Structure 1
Protein backbone atom coordinates (compact mmCIF):
# COMPACT_ATOMS: atom_id res chain seq x y z
CA UNK A 1 0.00 0.00 0.00
CA UNK A 2 1.28 3.42 -0.91
CA UNK A 3 0.13 6.94 -0.27
CA UNK A 4 -1.56 8.85 -3.06
CA UNK A 5 1.50 10.93 -3.73
CA UNK A 6 4.29 12.67 -1.90
CA UNK A 7 4.70 16.41 -1.95
CA UNK A 8 6.90 17.46 -4.88
CA UNK A 9 7.08 13.90 -6.25
CA UNK A 10 7.94 13.98 -9.94
CA UNK A 11 5.58 12.12 -12.25
CA UNK A 12 6.31 11.99 -15.96
CA UNK A 13 3.48 11.52 -18.41
CA UNK A 14 3.00 10.93 -22.10
CA UNK A 15 -0.15 10.56 -24.17
CA UNK A 16 -0.92 8.61 -27.29
CA UNK A 17 -3.85 7.30 -29.29
CA UNK A 18 -5.17 3.76 -29.70
CA UNK A 19 -8.49 1.96 -30.15
CA UNK A 20 -9.57 3.30 -26.71
CA UNK A 21 -9.13 6.90 -27.84
CA UNK A 22 -6.60 9.17 -26.20
CA UNK A 23 -4.54 7.41 -23.49
CA UNK A 24 -2.31 9.05 -20.89
CA UNK A 25 0.40 6.96 -19.23
CA UNK A 26 2.15 8.32 -16.14
CA UNK A 27 5.28 7.05 -14.43
CA UNK A 28 6.81 7.75 -11.03
CA UNK A 29 10.32 6.78 -9.93
CA UNK A 30 8.78 3.41 -8.87
CA UNK A 31 6.87 2.55 -12.04
CA UNK A 32 3.73 3.23 -14.06
CA UNK A 33 1.22 4.84 -11.70
CA UNK A 34 -1.64 5.72 -14.06
CA UNK A 35 -3.08 4.60 -17.40
CA UNK A 36 -6.05 6.80 -18.21
CA UNK A 37 -8.16 6.60 -21.38
CA UNK A 38 -10.33 9.55 -22.34
CA UNK A 39 -11.47 11.95 -24.99
CA UNK A 40 -8.75 14.59 -24.87
CA UNK A 41 -5.24 15.11 -23.63
CA UNK A 42 -6.32 18.16 -21.60
CA UNK A 43 -9.01 16.12 -19.82
CA UNK A 44 -6.50 13.38 -19.02
CA UNK A 45 -3.83 15.77 -17.72
CA UNK A 46 -6.49 17.37 -15.48
CA UNK A 47 -7.43 13.89 -14.17
CA UNK A 48 -3.76 13.13 -13.49
CA UNK A 49 -3.42 16.40 -11.57
CA UNK A 50 -6.50 15.49 -9.49
CA UNK A 51 -4.98 12.07 -8.69
CA UNK A 52 -1.61 13.52 -7.71
CA UNK A 53 -2.35 17.04 -6.42
CA UNK A 54 1.05 17.51 -4.75
CA UNK A 55 3.17 16.08 -7.57
CA UNK A 56 5.25 17.88 -10.15
CA UNK A 57 3.86 16.67 -13.50
CA UNK A 58 6.30 16.62 -16.40
CA UNK A 59 5.33 15.93 -20.00
CA UNK A 60 7.90 13.35 -21.13
CA UNK A 61 7.29 14.19 -24.80
CA UNK A 62 9.09 10.99 -25.82
CA UNK A 63 6.95 8.24 -27.35
CA UNK A 64 9.99 5.97 -27.18
CA UNK A 65 10.29 6.16 -23.37
CA UNK A 66 10.45 2.52 -22.25
CA UNK A 67 7.57 2.79 -19.79
CA UNK A 68 5.28 4.50 -22.31
CA UNK A 69 6.18 2.18 -25.21
CA UNK A 70 5.70 -0.89 -23.00
CA UNK A 71 2.19 0.14 -21.95
CA UNK A 72 1.20 1.04 -25.52
CA UNK A 73 2.47 -2.37 -26.74
CA UNK A 74 0.43 -4.03 -23.99
CA UNK A 75 -2.69 -2.12 -25.06
CA UNK A 76 -2.19 -3.47 -28.57
CA UNK A 77 -1.53 -7.08 -27.43
CA UNK A 78 -2.36 -7.90 -23.81
CA UNK A 79 -1.36 -11.55 -24.29
CA UNK A 80 2.28 -10.52 -23.94
CA UNK A 81 3.63 -9.81 -20.48
CA UNK A 82 3.94 -6.20 -19.46
CA UNK A 83 7.63 -5.34 -19.26
CA UNK A 84 7.48 -2.38 -16.91
CA UNK A 85 7.16 -1.99 -13.14
CA UNK A 86 3.85 -0.79 -11.72
CA UNK A 87 3.38 1.70 -8.91
CA UNK A 88 0.05 0.56 -7.47
CA UNK A 89 -1.35 3.03 -4.95
CA UNK A 90 -4.32 2.04 -2.90
CA UNK A 91 -5.42 0.37 0.27
CA UNK A 92 -4.09 -3.07 1.10
CA UNK A 93 -7.42 -4.56 0.01
CA UNK A 94 -7.45 -2.65 -3.30
CA UNK A 95 -3.90 -3.77 -4.08
CA UNK A 96 -4.87 -7.40 -3.34
CA UNK A 97 -7.84 -7.11 -5.70
CA UNK A 98 -5.72 -5.50 -8.42
CA UNK A 99 -3.09 -8.24 -8.13
CA UNK A 100 -5.81 -10.91 -8.37
CA UNK A 101 -7.20 -9.20 -11.49
CA UNK A 102 -3.76 -9.37 -13.11
CA UNK A 103 -4.03 -13.19 -12.92
CA UNK A 104 -7.06 -13.24 -15.27
CA UNK A 105 -5.68 -14.14 -18.73
CA UNK A 106 -6.35 -11.91 -21.72
CA UNK A 107 -9.53 -13.04 -23.47
CA UNK A 108 -10.99 -14.46 -20.24
CA UNK A 109 -13.29 -13.01 -17.61
CA UNK A 110 -14.42 -13.54 -14.03
CA UNK A 111 -17.27 -12.27 -11.89
CA UNK A 112 -16.91 -9.99 -8.88
CA UNK A 113 -17.86 -13.02 -6.75
CA UNK A 114 -15.18 -15.15 -8.43
CA UNK A 115 -12.54 -12.57 -7.52
CA UNK A 116 -13.80 -12.37 -3.93
CA UNK A 117 -13.66 -16.20 -3.64
CA UNK A 118 -10.14 -16.32 -5.14
CA UNK A 119 -9.10 -13.89 -2.43
CA UNK A 120 -10.66 -16.09 0.27
CA UNK A 121 -13.35 -13.50 0.99
CA UNK A 122 -16.53 -14.89 -0.64
CA UNK A 123 -18.80 -12.18 0.83
CA UNK A 124 -16.67 -9.30 -0.51
CA UNK A 125 -17.98 -9.02 -4.07
CA UNK A 126 -19.26 -5.44 -3.52
CA UNK A 127 -15.90 -4.43 -2.05
CA UNK A 128 -14.21 -6.02 -5.09
CA UNK A 129 -16.44 -3.88 -7.33
CA UNK A 130 -15.37 -0.80 -5.37
CA UNK A 131 -11.70 -1.69 -5.82
CA UNK A 132 -12.27 -2.16 -9.55
CA UNK A 133 -13.85 1.31 -9.71
CA UNK A 134 -10.78 2.80 -7.99
CA UNK A 135 -8.30 1.18 -10.38
CA UNK A 136 -5.96 3.85 -11.81
CA UNK A 137 -4.32 1.57 -14.41
CA UNK A 138 -6.85 0.94 -17.20
CA UNK A 139 -6.33 -2.35 -19.07
CA UNK A 140 -2.95 -2.94 -17.37
CA UNK A 141 -4.86 -3.92 -14.21
CA UNK A 142 -7.68 -5.64 -16.10
CA UNK A 143 -10.82 -4.64 -14.19
CA UNK A 144 -12.53 -4.71 -17.61
CA UNK A 145 -12.36 -8.54 -17.39
CA UNK A 146 -14.70 -8.54 -14.39
CA UNK A 147 -18.36 -9.06 -15.27
CA UNK A 148 -21.61 -9.54 -13.40
CA UNK A 149 -22.34 -13.09 -12.24
CA UNK A 150 -24.71 -13.52 -15.22
CA UNK A 151 -21.88 -12.61 -17.61
CA UNK A 152 -23.28 -9.19 -18.52
CA UNK A 153 -21.28 -5.97 -18.52
CA UNK A 154 -21.49 -3.79 -15.48
CA UNK A 155 -20.15 -0.34 -14.78
CA UNK A 156 -16.70 0.62 -15.93
CA UNK A 157 -14.95 3.69 -14.69
CA UNK A 158 -14.05 4.69 -18.27
CA UNK A 159 -17.47 3.84 -19.72
CA UNK A 160 -19.23 0.68 -20.86
CA UNK A 161 -18.34 1.49 -24.50
CA UNK A 162 -14.62 1.29 -23.64
CA UNK A 163 -15.11 -1.85 -21.55
CA UNK A 164 -16.79 -3.54 -24.52
CA UNK A 165 -14.05 -2.28 -26.86
CA UNK A 166 -11.28 -3.75 -24.69
CA UNK A 167 -13.10 -7.08 -24.27
CA UNK A 168 -13.78 -7.28 -28.02
CA UNK A 169 -10.16 -6.39 -28.80
CA UNK A 170 -8.86 -9.08 -26.44
CA UNK A 171 -11.34 -11.65 -27.76
CA UNK A 172 -10.09 -10.92 -31.29
CA UNK A 173 -6.51 -11.51 -30.11
CA UNK A 174 -7.41 -14.86 -28.56
CA UNK A 175 -9.04 -15.98 -31.83
CA UNK A 176 -5.84 -15.42 -33.80
Structure 2
Protein backbone atom coordinates (compact mmCIF):
# COMPACT_ATOMS: atom_id res chain seq x y z
CA UNK A 1 0.00 0.00 0.00
CA UNK A 2 1.43 3.35 -1.07
CA UNK A 3 1.21 6.38 1.18
CA UNK A 4 0.04 8.34 -1.87
CA UNK A 5 -2.93 6.05 -2.49
CA UNK A 6 -6.25 7.82 -2.05
CA UNK A 7 -8.37 6.51 0.80
CA UNK A 8 -12.12 6.10 0.37
CA UNK A 9 -14.01 5.62 3.61
CA UNK A 10 -17.12 3.54 3.07
CA UNK A 11 -20.16 2.13 4.82
CA UNK A 12 -22.71 -0.42 3.65
CA UNK A 13 -26.43 -0.70 4.39
CA UNK A 14 -29.70 -2.02 3.02
CA UNK A 15 -32.48 -0.27 1.10
CA UNK A 16 -35.73 -1.30 -0.58
CA UNK A 17 -33.74 -1.71 -3.81
CA UNK A 18 -30.84 -3.73 -2.43
CA UNK A 19 -27.56 -3.12 -0.66
CA UNK A 20 -26.00 0.31 -0.95
CA UNK A 21 -22.37 1.28 -0.43
CA UNK A 22 -21.42 4.90 0.12
CA UNK A 23 -17.79 6.01 -0.24
CA UNK A 24 -16.36 9.34 0.87
CA UNK A 25 -13.20 11.02 -0.34
CA UNK A 26 -11.67 14.12 1.18
CA UNK A 27 -13.94 16.14 -1.14
CA UNK A 28 -17.33 14.51 -0.54
CA UNK A 29 -19.38 11.51 -1.56
CA UNK A 30 -17.52 9.84 -4.42
CA UNK A 31 -19.88 6.87 -4.80
CA UNK A 32 -23.33 5.58 -4.00
CA UNK A 33 -23.55 2.15 -5.57
CA UNK A 34 -26.48 -0.28 -5.43
CA UNK A 35 -25.88 -4.03 -5.50
CA UNK A 36 -27.53 -7.31 -4.59
CA UNK A 37 -25.32 -7.87 -1.53
CA UNK A 38 -22.45 -6.33 0.47
CA UNK A 39 -19.71 -8.40 -1.19
CA UNK A 40 -20.84 -7.29 -4.65
CA UNK A 41 -21.12 -3.68 -3.49
CA UNK A 42 -17.53 -3.70 -2.26
CA UNK A 43 -16.31 -5.33 -5.51
CA UNK A 44 -18.16 -2.65 -7.50
CA UNK A 45 -16.52 0.09 -5.41
CA UNK A 46 -13.09 -1.41 -5.97
CA UNK A 47 -13.75 -1.67 -9.71
CA UNK A 48 -14.96 1.94 -9.88
CA UNK A 49 -11.88 3.24 -8.04
CA UNK A 50 -9.06 0.76 -8.74
CA UNK A 51 -6.32 3.17 -7.62
CA UNK A 52 -7.98 3.93 -4.25
CA UNK A 53 -7.80 2.12 -0.94
CA UNK A 54 -11.31 1.40 0.40
CA UNK A 55 -11.53 1.55 4.18
CA UNK A 56 -14.68 0.49 6.00
CA UNK A 57 -15.42 3.35 8.39
CA UNK A 58 -18.92 3.79 9.76
CA UNK A 59 -17.75 6.72 11.92
CA UNK A 60 -16.79 8.75 8.82
CA UNK A 61 -19.30 7.44 6.29
CA UNK A 62 -22.28 6.57 8.48
CA UNK A 63 -24.09 9.90 8.19
CA UNK A 64 -23.80 9.87 4.38
CA UNK A 65 -24.94 6.23 4.37
CA UNK A 66 -28.04 7.10 6.39
CA UNK A 67 -28.84 9.92 3.96
CA UNK A 68 -28.23 7.68 0.93
CA UNK A 69 -30.52 4.96 2.29
CA UNK A 70 -33.23 7.56 2.89
CA UNK A 71 -32.78 8.88 -0.65
CA UNK A 72 -32.90 5.46 -2.31
CA UNK A 73 -35.99 4.54 -0.30
CA UNK A 74 -37.60 7.93 -1.07
CA UNK A 75 -35.96 9.16 -4.32
CA UNK A 76 -37.97 12.36 -4.45
CA UNK A 77 -36.10 13.54 -1.35
CA UNK A 78 -32.98 15.68 -1.20
CA UNK A 79 -29.38 14.61 -0.71
CA UNK A 80 -27.49 17.43 0.97
CA UNK A 81 -23.99 15.97 1.24
CA UNK A 82 -21.22 17.38 -0.95
CA UNK A 83 -20.54 15.24 -4.01
CA UNK A 84 -17.10 14.42 -5.38
CA UNK A 85 -18.04 14.14 -9.05
CA UNK A 86 -15.24 12.77 -11.22
CA UNK A 87 -15.60 12.72 -14.97
CA UNK A 88 -14.99 14.40 -18.29
CA UNK A 89 -16.46 17.82 -19.07
CA UNK A 90 -19.25 16.08 -20.99
CA UNK A 91 -20.04 13.71 -18.12
CA UNK A 92 -20.06 16.55 -15.59
CA UNK A 93 -22.44 18.56 -17.82
CA UNK A 94 -24.81 15.58 -18.09
CA UNK A 95 -24.68 14.87 -14.36
CA UNK A 96 -25.52 18.51 -13.56
CA UNK A 97 -28.42 18.47 -16.02
CA UNK A 98 -29.70 15.26 -14.40
CA UNK A 99 -29.64 16.93 -10.99
CA UNK A 100 -31.78 19.73 -12.46
CA UNK A 101 -34.61 17.34 -13.48
CA UNK A 102 -37.31 17.62 -10.80
CA UNK A 103 -38.34 14.47 -8.96
CA UNK A 104 -41.38 12.90 -10.57
CA UNK A 105 -40.33 13.95 -14.08
CA UNK A 106 -38.30 12.28 -16.82
CA UNK A 107 -36.48 13.47 -19.93
CA UNK A 108 -35.43 11.56 -22.99
CA UNK A 109 -31.74 11.17 -23.74
CA UNK A 110 -32.23 13.43 -26.78
CA UNK A 111 -34.13 16.09 -24.82
CA UNK A 112 -31.38 16.18 -22.22
CA UNK A 113 -28.69 16.42 -24.93
CA UNK A 114 -30.34 19.55 -26.34
CA UNK A 115 -30.16 21.34 -22.97
CA UNK A 116 -26.44 20.83 -22.42
CA UNK A 117 -23.81 23.57 -22.75
CA UNK A 118 -21.65 21.16 -24.81
CA UNK A 119 -22.76 19.57 -28.09
CA UNK A 120 -23.72 15.97 -27.34
CA UNK A 121 -25.81 13.22 -28.85
CA UNK A 122 -28.42 11.12 -27.07
CA UNK A 123 -25.96 8.21 -27.19
CA UNK A 124 -23.29 10.31 -25.46
CA UNK A 125 -25.80 11.26 -22.77
CA UNK A 126 -26.48 7.55 -22.27
CA UNK A 127 -22.77 6.84 -21.96
CA UNK A 128 -22.41 9.57 -19.33
CA UNK A 129 -25.31 8.06 -17.41
CA UNK A 130 -23.57 4.69 -17.53
CA UNK A 131 -20.40 6.25 -16.11
CA UNK A 132 -22.23 7.77 -13.13
CA UNK A 133 -21.05 6.36 -9.78
CA UNK A 134 -23.52 8.25 -7.59
CA UNK A 135 -26.87 6.47 -7.78
CA UNK A 136 -30.06 8.44 -7.19
CA UNK A 137 -28.26 11.61 -5.97
CA UNK A 138 -27.25 12.01 -9.62
CA UNK A 139 -30.59 10.72 -10.92
CA UNK A 140 -29.81 8.87 -14.15
CA UNK A 141 -33.02 6.93 -13.55
CA UNK A 142 -34.94 10.02 -14.72
CA UNK A 143 -33.73 9.60 -18.32
CA UNK A 144 -35.78 7.40 -20.65
CA UNK A 145 -35.96 6.52 -24.34
CA UNK A 146 -37.63 8.95 -26.76
CA UNK A 147 -40.81 6.84 -26.71
CA UNK A 148 -40.89 6.91 -22.89
CA UNK A 149 -39.61 3.36 -22.57
CA UNK A 150 -37.14 2.38 -19.91
CA UNK A 151 -33.73 1.28 -21.09
CA UNK A 152 -30.34 0.55 -19.55
CA UNK A 153 -29.39 1.50 -16.02
CA UNK A 154 -26.08 0.82 -14.32
CA UNK A 155 -27.90 -0.78 -11.39
CA UNK A 156 -30.42 -2.72 -13.48
CA UNK A 157 -33.57 -1.84 -15.41
CA UNK A 158 -35.90 -3.26 -12.69
CA UNK A 159 -34.36 -0.85 -10.16
CA UNK A 160 -34.73 2.04 -12.62
CA UNK A 161 -38.40 1.17 -13.13
CA UNK A 162 -38.97 1.02 -9.36
CA UNK A 163 -37.26 4.37 -8.79
CA UNK A 164 -39.38 6.02 -11.49
CA UNK A 165 -42.53 4.47 -10.00
CA UNK A 166 -41.51 5.49 -6.46
CA UNK A 167 -41.24 9.08 -7.69
CA UNK A 168 -44.77 8.88 -9.12
CA UNK A 169 -43.88 9.49 -12.75
CA UNK A 170 -47.01 9.13 -14.86
TM-score (norm. length: structure 1): 0.87
Tell me the equivalent position of 1:94.
Answer: 91
- 1:117 and 2:107 matched: no
SS of alignment partner, residue 17 of structure 1:
strand
Q: Which runs of 5+ in 2 are unaligned?
A: none
Moved runs in structure 1, 4+ residues, more than 6 A? none
For these two proteins, the number of residue pairs brought into alignment is 168
- 1:36 and 2:16 matched: no
- 1:74 and 2:71 matched: yes
Q: CA RMSD in A?
A: 2.1
- 1:138 and 2:138 matched: no
User: How far apart, in 1, do the equivalents of 2:60 and 2:69 lie?
Assistant: 9
Deviations 1:45-96 (A, max 9, x none): 1111112122121111349832222222222333332110000011111011
Q: Which runs of 5+ in 1 are unaligned?
A: 1-5
SS of alignment partner, residue 126 of structure 2:
helix
C-alpha displacement of 1:124: 1.3
User: How far apart, in 2, do the equivalents of 1:163 and 1:129 lie?
Assistant: 14
TM-score (norm. length: structure 2): 0.90
SS of alignment partner, residue 167 of structure 2:
helix
User: How far apart, in 2, do the equivalents of 1:41 and 1:56 lie?
Assistant: 17
Contact 1:101 1:142 in 2 (8 A): yes
